[in-house]
Amino acid sequence: MNGNRQWDGEPADKIAYFGMGLTDAFPVAADWNNDGATEIGVYKDGTWYMDKSRNWQWEGEFTDSSCVFGAGLAGEVPVAGRWWAGRN
């Protein structure tokens, strides 16, 4: 969290438990809320769960977000990115 690329323990760094209980889920990271910082998320069976509040816990819709994209695609692998960058 503090950017020095080493574990300094909490509170300088953070242990996250986002997405616990979702077996076979993929971790994903991106700037979900467009604030310039990367947030965590998980992807499972076409559903994305995104920690938009950046507090490392699922708080449900309106605070965090979930959406369905890619459901039912055999062998799907999630890829997060800023796909809208450079477009108006």
Question: For position 81, what pLDDT does the model report?
Answer: 78
Q: Enter the pTM of the model.
A: 0.73
Give the C-alpha separation, 87 to 17, whole Å.
34
Helix, strand and coil percent figures for the chain, each rounded to 5 = 0, 25, 75
Give the C-alpha separation, 74 to 38, whole Å.
28
Task: Give pLDDT tens digits along the chain (88 positions).
Answer: 788 989 999 888 887 777 777 888 899 999 888 888 888 899 988 889 999 888 888 888 888 888 888 777 777 888 887 776 555 5
